């Protein structure tokens, strides 16, 4: 069953501090929403805090977290969750997503570590997701992450992800580039993986670029333009899921904003294609 309501709509852009002064000056703004990592903005005051508030009053915002460490071995940080909840309320944040991974033990590891694909891990992660959703009083969308090893795996990535979504009763941030990256690195059919995803759980989607380390190894960098096979997989996603809100991520090697807007415009073009096709079908 395809979803018909989402917290945002259209095409989005990952908002970075280097865009703070320039983004509003653009004549062409094809994006409908913006996204930030809340950890990078929660404690800001002064000029930057004021400027950020102006943005969140002007545009719908999503958040994509970096430090929840949903599969980490240490207890969830309740102070962080309560601060997060206050941040969401202050800035009218539309949705919250995080990585299906872990990034801390006694301290932060500054990387996204793979979760063992096991039934035990499903139960552990799902319980922590339910706690987070209860504290925040809102759905949490977990992102399918890129990974480079699968230690202790007893099931496939696809089966693990589906089991967590069902057990936790949470939503999904579907990253199209991560599907492509993992399909090359771990030798599976990206379209089959995509079509196995439950449309009713998808909150929104990400698309990004990557780096080809070798013919059989891709590194998910968010530091390059989106390539044609990933655009084609996005097209397949709209066929399977409907026109889901989709955000362009670019974390470094950030080009001029006009170039970024062209990629956001490509998302809009693909969305318009399926919206027009759906409208003709209804008519």
Angle among Cα 102, 108, 111 to the nearest 5 degrees reads 55
Helical residues (DSSP H) of the chain, grouped into ranges: 46-58, 78-91, 119-136, 157-168, 176-186, 190-195, 228-241, 257-282
Classify 233 as helix, strand or coil.
Answer: helix
Q: What is the mean pLDDT of residues 22-36?
A: 91
Tell me what the mean pLDDT of segment 30-36 comes to: 97
Give the range among 54-58, 120-124, 169-173, 212-216 with minimum mean pLDDT: 212-216
Please give the Cα distance from 2 to 22 (Å, whole number). 37
Q: What percent of the chain has pLDDT over 70?
A: 95
CATH topology of domain 11-282: TIM Barrel (3.20.20)
Do 141 and 97 contact (CB within 8 A), yes or no?
yes
Query: Residue 104's pLDDT is what?
Result: 47
Question: What tens digit of pLDDT does each residue of 188-242 get?
Answer: 999 999 999 999 999 999 999 998 887 888 988 888 999 999 999 999 999 999 9
pLDDT at 110 over 70: no
**In whole numbers, what is the pLDDT of the chain averaged over residues?**
92
- CA distances in angstroms from 2 to 46, 71, 254, 283, listed in the order given: 43, 29, 34, 19
102 near 116, Cβ under 8 Å? no
Rg (CA), the chain: 18
List the one residue out of 122, 182, 173 whose CA is nearest residue 152: 122
Query: Domain extents for the chain?
Result: 11-282
Give me the pLDDT at residue 26, please: 87
pLDDT at 281: 72
Tens of pLDDT, residue by residue over 250-265, are 998 999 999 999 999 9
CA atoms of 262 and 194, how far apart (whole Å): 25
Comparing CA positions, the residue from 61, 33, 30 lying closest to residue 268 is 30
Residue 95 has what pLDDT?
98
pLDDT in tens, 147-180: 888 888 899 999 999 999 999 999 999 999 999 9
Residue 72 has pLDDT above 90, yes or no: no
Structure tokens at 202: 């998808």
**Residue 277 or 264, more confident:** 264
Q: Residue 283: its pLDDT value, please?
A: 54
Q: How confident is the model at residue 64 (pLDDT cuts 50, 70, 90)?
A: very high
What is the C-alpha to C-alpha distance for residues 145 and 277, in angstroms, rounded to an integer? 31
Q: Which of 44-48, 177-181, 248-252 has the lowest mean pLDDT?
A: 44-48
Question: Bigger pLDDT: 27 or 169?
Answer: 169
How far is the C-alpha of 122 from the C-alpha of 212, rounded, in Å? 31
Residue 103 has pLDDT above 80, yes or no: no
Of 10-19, 86-95, 215-224, least confident by mean pLDDT is 215-224
Quick check: 105 pLDDT over 70? no
Instruction: Band the pLDDT of 133: cuts 50, 70, 90.
Output: very high
């Amino acid at each position: 069953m395809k979803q018909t309501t989402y917290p945002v709509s259209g095409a989005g852009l990952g908002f970075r501090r280097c865009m703070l002064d320039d983004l509003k000056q653009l004549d062409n703004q094809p994006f409908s929403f913006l996204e930030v990592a809340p950890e990078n903005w929660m404690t800001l005051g002064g000029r930057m805090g004021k400027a950020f508030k102006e943005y969140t009053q002007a545009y719908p915002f999503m958040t994509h977290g970096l430090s929840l460490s949903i599969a980490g071995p240490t207890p969830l940080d309740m102070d962080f969750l309560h601060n997060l909840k206050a941040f969401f309320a202050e800035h009218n944040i539309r949705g919250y997503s995080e990585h299906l991974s872990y990034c801390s033990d006694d301290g932060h590891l500054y990387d996204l570590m793979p979760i063992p694909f096991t039934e035990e891990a499903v139960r552990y992660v799902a319980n922590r997701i339910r706690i987070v959703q209860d504290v925040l009083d809102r759905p949490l969308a977990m992102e399918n992450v890129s990974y480079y090893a699968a230690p202790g795996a007893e099931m496939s990535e696809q089966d693990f992800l589906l089991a967590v979504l069902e057990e936790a009763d949470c939503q999904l941030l579907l990253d199209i580039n991560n599907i492509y990256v993992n399909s090359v690195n771990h030798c599976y059919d990206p379209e089959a993986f995509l079509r196995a995803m439950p449309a009713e759980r998808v909150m929104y989607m990400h698309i990004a670029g990557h780096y080809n380390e070798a013919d059989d190894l891709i590194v998910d960098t968010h530091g390059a333009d989106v390539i044609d096979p990933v655009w084609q997989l996005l097209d397949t996603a709209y066929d399977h899921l409907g026109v889901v809100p989709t955000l362009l991520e670019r974390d470094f090697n950030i080009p001029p904003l006009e170039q970024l807007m062209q990629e956001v415009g490509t998302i809009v073009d693909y969305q318009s294609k399926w919206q027009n096709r759906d409208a003709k079908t209804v008519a």
